[in-house]
Structure 1
Amino acid sequence: MEPRLMEYLLTYDVDTTTPEGQRRLRRVAKICEGYGIRVQKSVFEVTCTTAQLPSLRQQLTDVIDHTLDNIRLYRLTTGTLQTVERLGVAQLAPHHGDHIL
């Protein structure tokens, strides 16, 4: 039986007024790239299993400054990412194909 996939919209705002903040921003982006597809500068569409989600949360928790940074995970109904209305140059992201990490 295949693991159940969940869909999330992940957004972040990392304070970059210091060199440490700029490093945190790069680290947060790198973590997110391992789990999802960047659709805007600080927005990722994430498809993960229930087993992967705690790891994603923990990695982000370990990196951010909890007094300055803000990460939001919006759980979506399964299939929502395939129904996104796109305007402009936005492309449909291939969430359910093979991902190379």
Structure 2
Amino acid sequence: MQGRRAPGIDGLSVEFYKAYWDVLSHDLLDVFNESLASGPMPMTCRRAVITLLPKKGNLQDIENWRPVSLLCVDYKLLSKALATRLGRAVEQVIHRDQTY
């Protein structure tokens, strides 16, 4: 994952996870597995901070701003892992001449 991005509502950055991955990885994997087995991710993983980023032009005009959701890194980690695994599975199911 790319670093130097704004953290989510928990305030934990990509750099934090990289620095403490040896300590966090097993517990985080347990949380992911439990969540996948029993239902949705914990609420802390599913919340986002919505902020506005300026575009070019007159910043007094609302059209020159765009909303961005800042998601927690743990949610992004799980999403990336699932997308990677699903991508491999899709390659097995869908012929390469089809798009997915």
The interval holding the TM-score normalised by the smaller chain is: under 0.3
Question: Between Structure 1 and Structure 2, whose CA radius of gyration is higher?
Answer: 2
TM-score, normalisation: structure 1:
0.23
The structure carrying a bigger strand percent of its residues is 1
The structure carrying a bigger helix percent of its residues is 2
TM-score, normalisation: structure 2:
0.24
Higher relative contact order (CA 8 A, sep 6+): 1
